[in-house]
């Protein structure tokens, strides 16, 4: 999952959150394989099986601004034994420098190139797109780190701003409102234009509930306007392509995607041809049954870890 930038919190329980992903399966990659769902204790149990660990952030490395107990030490030990450990996260709302500071503060030691985010995937696409004027869903107070090269206007309550751009990019929904969503939908109905979704997460787990993320608003746009969205981040392949570019030649069956979500981490890892490991006791399914959602979705991880 991403870093929980959504404005709305505690709106959904785990069943409702799961159902929200199931309703949009037609826009997600198809299930390509079924894993054995082998239950193991933690990441250490995969050390002999894997050479590369791709770790989601929330629910794997941290809960909010707190590292999960024992995980910084476990990650450091994997790195010391020669394992490549990378973050692969739908963290589009934060500039890269902010993330690096956060992980360092939590006790992790990652090289900047080993932190792969949906923001990076989106920016890669923007650099390869024709010069356009973009309307931006994001939190202005976080600054323009990484997006300075682009002509972007923060979207608020001015309808004119929506109508005067060539395309839209959705990075963070912390300050997004129903009024802004209505303005965006109306503008796109009147004049369909490209929409880049920088965080495909529909929800993100928080203490006591789930926040609403950019993917939620993006799927509503598609339902209401009929536009075709361009997603960047898990479960889509573009974020994994960035990771592979850093890795070079590594057998896919020696790479494991570790995360707390079936529809982003596990589905994305499987679509990329990787092994997958679902975290049971933290994040999306914390305190919940796993068997029913795995059966209902048909998304079966190779491993289920009690904790990271």
Give the span between the Cα atoms of 145 and 161, in whole angstroms. Answer: 22
pLDDT (tens place) for every residue of the chain, 308 residues total: 443 444 444 467 888 899 999 999 999 999 877 899 999 999 999 999 999 999 999 999 998 889 999 999 999 999 999 999 999 999 999 999 999 999 999 999 999 999 999 999 999 999 999 999 999 999 999 999 999 999 999 999 999 999 999 999 999 999 999 999 999 999 999 999 999 999 999 998 776 668 899 999 999 999 999 999 999 999 999 999 999 999 988 999 999 999 999 999 999 999 999 999 999 999 999 988 999 999 999 999 999 999 99
- For the chain, the domains span 34-119+234-305, 121-231
Query: Class of the 121-231 domain?
Result: alpha beta
CA distances from 118 to 124, 172, 306 (A): 10, 11, 26
CA angle centred on 188, ends 183 and 193, rounded to 5°: 135
Strand 62-63 versus strand 66-67 pairing type: antiparallel
The CATH number assigned to the domain with range 34-119+234-305 reads 3.40.50.1000
User: 34-119+234-305 with 121-231: one CATH topology?
Assistant: yes
pTM of the predicted model as reported, rounded to 2 decimal places: 0.94
| Residue 172 burial class via C-beta count within 10 angstroms: exposed 0-12, middle 13-18, buried 19 and up | buried
Structure tokens that stand for 166 in this block: 């060539």
Computed from CA positions of residues 108, 96, 141, 168, in that sequence, does the dihedral angle turn out positive or negative? negative
Contacts of residue 55, Cβ cutoff 8 Å, sequence gap at least 6: 61, 75, 85, 86, 87, 88, 258, 259, 308
CA distances from 104 to 65, 100, 112, 166, 255 (A): 12, 6, 11, 38, 24
At 223 the three-state DSSP class reads helix
Give the span between the Cα atoms of 225 and 180, in whole angstroms. Answer: 15
């Amino acid at each position: 999952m991403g870093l929980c930038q959504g404005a709305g919190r505690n709106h959904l329980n785990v069943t409702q959150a799961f159902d929200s992903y199931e309703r949009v399966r037609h826009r997600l990659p198809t299930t390509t394989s079924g894993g054995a769902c082998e239950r193991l204790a933690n990441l250490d149990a995969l050390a002999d099986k894997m050479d590369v660990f791709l770790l989601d952030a929330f629910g794997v490395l941290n809960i909010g601004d707190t590292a999960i107990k024992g995980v910084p030490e476990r990650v450091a030990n994997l790195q010391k034994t020669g394992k490549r450990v990378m973050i692969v996260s739908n963290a589009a709302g934060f500039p890269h420098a902010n993330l690096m500071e956060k992980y360092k503060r939590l006790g992790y030691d990652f090289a900047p190139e080993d932190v792969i985010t949906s923001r990076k995937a989106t920016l890669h696409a923007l650099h390869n797109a024709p010069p356009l004027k973009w309307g931006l869903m994001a939190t202005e107070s976080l600054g323009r780190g990484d997006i300075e090269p682009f002509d972007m206007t923060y979207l608020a309550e001015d309808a004119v701003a929506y109508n005067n751009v060539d395309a839209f990019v959705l990075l963070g929904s912390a300050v997004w409102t129903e009024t802004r969503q209505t303005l965006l939908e109306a503008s796109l109905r009147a004049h369909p234009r490209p929409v880049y979704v920088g965080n495909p997460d529909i929800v993100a787990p928080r203490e006591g509930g789930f926040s609403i993320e950019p993917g939620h608003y993006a799927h509503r746009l598609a339902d209401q306007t009929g536009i075709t969205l361009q997603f960047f981040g898990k479960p889509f392949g573009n974020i994994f392509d960035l990771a592979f570019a850093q890795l070079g030649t590594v057998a896919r069956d020696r790479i494991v995607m570790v995360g707390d979500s079936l529809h982003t981490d596990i589905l994305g890892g499987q679509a990329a041809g990787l092994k997958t490991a679902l975290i049971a006791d933290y994040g999306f399914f914390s305190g919940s049954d796993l068997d029913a959602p795995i059966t209902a979705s048909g998304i079966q991880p190779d491993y289920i870890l009690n904790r990271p």
